[in-house]
Structure formats: C-alpha cells, structure tokens
Amino acid sequence: MSLPSIESIDAASATLAQRLAGIREFMARESLDAFIIPCADQFLGEYLGPDVQRLRWLTGFTGEAAIAVVQPERAAIFVDGRFTVQVRQQVPASLFEYHHLIEEPHLNWLNNTLQPGDRIGFDATLHTYNWYQDAIAAFREKDIQLVELAENPIDRLWNDRPAASDAPGILLDEKYTGRSSEDKRQVLSEMLQKKGLDALVITQPDAVNWLFNIRGGDVPCLPVVLSYAIVYQDGNADLFAPTGKLDDHFYPHAGDGVRLMDIATIEHSLKQLGEDGADVQLDYENSNAWIPLTLLHFGAQVIHGDDPCMVMKAIKNRIEIEGMRQAHLYAGIATTKFLAWLDREVAAGTPTLDEGVLADKIEALLEEQPGYNGCSFETISAVGPNAAMCHYNHTLTTPRTLGQDGLYLIDSGGQFPEGTTDMTRTIKVGDVTDEMCTRYTQVLQGHIRLAATRFPKGTRGIQLDTIARQPLWQAGCDYDHGTGHGVGHFLGVHETPLRMSPQEADSRLEAGMMITIEPGYYKEDAYGLRVENLYVVKPSTIASDVPMLEMESLTLAPIDCRLIKQELLSAEEFQWLDEYHQQVQKLIGPYLDAEEKEWLTLVTRPLAEQQ
C-alpha cells in the first residue's frame, strides 16, 4: 500500500487532535475517566451510513472492526488482525495507542488502566445488551461505574455531519417474497401465545424488512429501511421507521393490524410495554443495550430469546429460491463477460489496467443486468500481494496495476429484487509459480469436496467446515476465515445465523438455506487466492436410512483451469468440474456475443483437453 504524504498526515493529525480535545472537554464536564466509541450505529449492523461513522470521525480509521477508548491523558484504538497494517496508516500514533481487539480486549485494558471508582461514559445505543452485562461484570471488582450518556458528545461536536439517507422505502411484491407479511406475523403470534409472552421486539433492520416485505436504501450494500418493530401476541405489529420512508400504500401491502410509526416514538411504545408490565422477548446479542434498559426501567419483564425472524428468513421458500437462481444468472452473465474481457486485455498487454479499473468494469457489467440495485458489498479487486489481505479495499490506497503479478482475485456481488449474489474467482494474469498452482488446486479440491458432500439433516456448519480444509491441511496450510456464510434474499450478503466456521456455535444447515463455499489461501506479501460459489441446501434424492441434505450451486461462471495441477485431482473432482462447466456453458452461453461465446466454449471444455 502507498502511504499518505507528510503534509496530509500533519493536517489530519491536527484535525483529529482538535476532535479529541473536544471529547476530553466533554468528559471533564461530566466527570468521566473514559469514553468508549465502537464502530457501530444503533442497529448494530455490518454496514454504516456516512452519518453514523462516529469512530471514523474521531480516529480517521475506515475499517469496520474497531473500538476506541479516550481517557484524559491517553487514547487507544483496538482492531483485529485484518486491520493491524491499516490502522497504523490511518490513525496517528501521536494520538492513539494501537491494541489487538482479540488478544487485548478493551474491557481488560480499561480494567488495568482505571482506578477504583472511576466512571466510564458510553452510548447505550451503540453496544449490545450482552456487552453491557459483560462490562458490568468486568468492572464490578474495582467498582468502576458505567455511565449511560443521554447524548453522544460526537453528535454535538460533528459540525459537518452528513445527513441521513433520504432514499424511499420499497414495497417488495409477493411475486419476489413468496409469502405475505400477514402470514409471517401469524407465525410469530402463535410463537408468542405458546410461550405466554405479550410482545416481541425486533431490532435488526434486515429482519424487520423481511417481516414486512419492504426494502430500502438507507445504508450502502444492504437494501433496507433502518427500522425497528414490535409484534404483539395477537399478530398486530408496529413498524418504527423514519418519517417519509413509506407512504399510505404500505398499509394494504402489509395487511391488517399494522401501524406505521415514526422511529422517534419507539421510546413511548417501550414505556407503554413497561407500564403494562408486559413480558417481552428480545435478542440480547443483536439488540442495542438502550432498548432492554428502557424496557426494564419502565417495568417490563424482558426475556432473552433469539430473534425468530433470523432463522425464518434464512430458510428460503420456493419463490425466493427461484429468484436467487435468476439473480445468479444475472451475476454469472456479468462475471463471464468480465472474465472474457479481462483475458483479451491481458493478452493485448493493455497498460492501464489496475485494481480500480477492473472493479469499475465488473460493477458496470452488473449494472447492465435487469433490476440491479447496487453492490452487495464493496468489490474486492486485488492483484498479487494485495490479495493476501482477504478484506483488501483498493479505494483506500493507490490501486496496483497488472503486469507485475501472476494472480488476480475478484470478489463481487450484486443486489437484485430476485436475490443477493456473492462470487469470487482467482485468475491467471501473468507468470505463476508451481507453488501458486499447487495451492490453487488444493483450494479448489476443498471447494469441490464440500460442494459434493451429502450430510445428515441437523449437521452443523463447524462439521462441514473441516471438509474444505482437508487438502490444505495435508500440505500443512490453512486459511484464517470461515468456509461459508449465509446469504439473504435481496438482503444482507452475510446473513446470520448460518455459518461454516471453526468459531461458529451451533448453526445447523436446513433445506432452503443459502450458504457460500469459499476456501482460500493467503501468503503474506506474495499472493492470495479464493474460489467462492453460493449454494442452496436441498433434500438429497439418494436412498438413505436417515434424512440427508446436499448442496446445489447457484453461481454460474467459469473457474480458471489454467491454474490447476491436474495430477492432483481425483476422477470425481474431474467429473464435478466438467459437469459444472457444462452447466455454465448451457445457461450463460445464450446471453453472450459471438466472441464471448467462443471464449466460454474454450475455457469450459473438458479439463482433460486443457493441458
């Protein structure tokens, strides 16, 4: 990565120093000994709008996994291993100490640096209730006090704060959702009745949007209206959204028993639940602490329970599955056109190709597809050593040009009314080493073996994760990320609770779920590679003693065979790849021009012919 100039560093440091001074003045007035600033908004989502990038405003750090702590005489920023290089480039060492988020958690650091009786200010809307309970327990021995702030001081100091998005909400037709909002709410009503609960508070915007069959444009990459909801035992519900996002057409769309409320009124509704002594279910892990604290303050009984919408929306119905097939056809057409174009440009030696140009090209091709609603995540376009950083972002540095490396990695996705896509391909763009081809083949073997696996109903993601790692493990190698994640239907590209990872707790695969398979290999300062498809889990048709599941690929784009060491593949792996490429050629070919179709025929011919 290229470094910013000395002049820009000095200017940025001066601005950040002024902001830090403003926070410390606030702390002095409020008698605070520390103030915690997470990278989060009140919805605790993966993507943040520019108007809620408080940590970025204070520190200059643009990554998504970080927490800052300010004290009267020192300040620190905590990041995980993905961002240890980036944080040193963006955050002045003269103002902030650097710490590892996992190896030295911020709560431990605070415990070690504060005195008994000290006071820590925090914004309860930016932390989970689980975090709040952990913090209370961590500070109890030293009697360190957590002070819930009525207002975040950054909001008052941030004079040029961008306005929140004014993008209107979208009423998503049942031809896309396959299920009415009334039907979904009835399931929740029956659950509440069975448990003897009065209400369910839903705090995750993707769950709220799924429940009411709406979408929006309030944050980048995630097509949602930022909102909350309360569902009552009788199936009636209140939707809390910013005024103007939805008009009166929402009422016939959502069905009977729904009220549309301004999001600022949710405190009044929480107070009413409390005064009524209601028994309320809430997901502590995914709710900000302010909501349960408010409910408890006014007298409600709060019962922790996983948000039932999360599993319900993860299991796609027939209409959603067909929609996801269509969305991946669109993405496959765009990606295949991109790969054909890239091969021509590399062969011609075009000197102007860099990571930014390539990202713009694939995004432009996606934009040509019907109904395209933007990227599902920021495109990862990485050449050579940059691909060794699995969350690399070319926009944060000078994009690297082609011509000096053998490998290029492109990870892209799109949002369509029919569904959400996510795909990674690693491409030969120059001279490659024997080691690169060996690792690529092992990664591909792991992908194929997992994709071809049948498994009993109820199998957990952690069990399947190991299958994709086996070829690399046998070579003494591994990758430091999960093998797969759930994907939403015109919602989040990273959809909980489904994961295939060594760290996941108890996510179990069920028919109708969508999961990526994306093993990789990353050699620091050298190269990185990954092969990713999205799969739908479905019942297996084989005769079996117990119910079995298998996976069917939705992703349609060629896999680069020039990097494969064929002698390492089994006959079954040969067959899987040839059959996959036959499917790509059959479904994508009709949408290509003559030159592209000729290229596709060449790169998807049987592997044995590609010596």
Percent of the chain with pLDDT over 90: 89
Give the whole-angstrom CA distance, residue 107 versus residue 38. Answer: 12
Mean pLDDT, residues 134-138: 95
User: Looking at domain 170-314, which CATH architecture does it have?
Assistant: 3-Layer(aba) Sandwich (3.40)
Tell me the C-alpha distance between 293 and 194, whole Å.
25
Nearest to 431 by CA among 395, 461, 404, 459: 404
- Quote the tokens at residue 428: 């030969």
pLDDT at 3 over 60: no
Which tens digit of pLDDT belongs to each residue from 42-77? Answer: 999 989 999 999 999 999 998 878 999 999 999 999
Q: pLDDT of 539-572, one tens digit each? A: 998 888 899 999 999 999 999 999 999 999 999 9
Q: How many residues does the chain have?
A: 611
Query: What pLDDT score was predicted for residue 83?
Result: 77
State pLDDT tens for residues 360-408.
999 999 999 999 999 999 999 999 999 998 878 898 789 999 999 999 9
Higher pLDDT, 11 or 453: 453
The reply to whether 6-157 and 170-314 are identical in fold is yes
What superfamily would CATH give domain 318-606? Creatinase/methionine aminopeptidase superfamily (3.90.230.10)
Distance (Å, whole) CA 213 – CA 172: 5
The domain locations on the chain are 6-157, 170-314, 318-606
Q: Tokens for 102, please give them.
A: 């996992």
pTM of the model: 0.93
Residues with Cβ within 8 Å of residue 232, at least 6 apart in sequence: 189, 192, 198, 199
Q: For helices 129-139 and 290-297, give the axis angle rounded to 10 degrees.
A: 80
Confidence at residue 505, expressed as pLDDT on a 0 to 100 scale: 63
Q: What is the DSSP string of 156-174?
A: HH-TTPPPPP-PPPEE--H
CATH architecture of 6-157: 3-Layer(aba) Sandwich (3.40)
Tokens of 27: 């702390």
User: H-helix or E-strand containing 423?
Assistant: strand 423-428
Q: Contacts from 470-475 at CB under 8 Å and sequence distance 24+?
A: 470/446, 471/441, 471/442, 471/443, 471/445, 471/446, 472/439, 472/442, 472/443, 472/446, 472/519, 472/521, 475/438, 475/439, 475/442
Strand partners, 98: 77
The tens digit of pLDDT for each residue in 227-246 reads 999 999 999 999 999 999 99
Sign of the alpha-carbon torsion through 505, 318, 229, 54: positive
Residue 354 — pLDDT band, cuts 50, 70, 90? very high
Position 7 pLDDT exceeds 50: no
Compute the distance between CA of residue 121 and CA of residue 33 in angstroms, rounded to an integer. 8
